[in-house]
Amino acid sequence: MTATTAPGGTAKLAGREVARIGYGVMQLGRPGTDRADQVKLLREAANAGVNHLDTAQFYSDGRCNDLIREAFSPYPDDLVVVTKVGAEESAQGLRLAQQPEQLRAQVEANLAALGVEQLDVVNLRRADAGPGLIAGGDQLVDIDDQLAELISLRDAGKIGSLGLSNVSADQLRHALGAEIVCVQNSYNVLYRATEPVLELCREHEIAWVPYFPLGSAFELGQDVRGNPVVTGVAAELGCTPAQVALAWLLQRYAGTLLIAGTASSAHLAENLAAGQVQLPAEAVAALDRLG
């Protein structure tokens, strides 16, 4: 990959140095999009210093992983590709797949699609609460059973490291013995219900990967870019509201890794430039009060 300054600086992920601003590929691979343009966008991110990609086989029915493979295989040594398991595509759309045998099948599907013998990091996406699908029936699975399956796959060399997604502080604390390297939870300047999980990550030096950093449709009142305090800070600093929101996350904890996603080259550049935004103390205090 092209040597450049790492966007946002660097932090540790699974024992490796990665740029603190990475790239979530979920918005790629959708019907009607141009494959060549999306491969170009992935390479553009890498050329700008991004070496942490977030993906899943259930994103766009595997097309996101296909794009990553076309863009980067054979993969450079410094690229960390993080995938997740816990759901799958079906004829009726996305559905949960939380059973241990389903997790194993998803690991195998990610391996095949990415064309690798080992997945760098696999996040277990729990479904005990929103946002998104919530488990019921046979999809209510004990986390210990899930971790045992994934640890077995790690011991077999098919997984490098394990992470968690959409978990509580109690669940993370319970899973610490599995050597968790990262946690992905919904979190932004307006939505901080998962603050106890962040505190636990800080205590144990675990990478914190907040998703929906700019808000989402799942929670009402999460229009981060339209919040008057955020827009006011942006106007004072001469940057965009999105950059303010991302910069606040980076300054919240040195182990924060961002995976803001986009299918737009312009938005990609905007997100990466957030790593250069320095929020003055009074701006941080005003943003902190929003939570």
| Residues designated catalytic | 59
What residue ranges in the chain does DSSP mark as E strands?
10-13, 16-19, 23-24, 52-54, 80-85, 87-90, 93-96, 119-125, 159-165, 180-186, 207-211
Quick one: DSSP state of residue 239? Answer: S
The C-alpha atoms of residue 289 and residue 291 are separated, in whole angstroms, by 5
Structure tokens at 241: 């509201």
Taking CB atoms within 8 Å and a gap of at least 24, the contacts of 134-140 are 135/96, 135/98, 138/99, 139/96, 139/97, 139/98, 139/99, 140/98
Count CA within 13 A, CB hemisphere, residue 107.
30
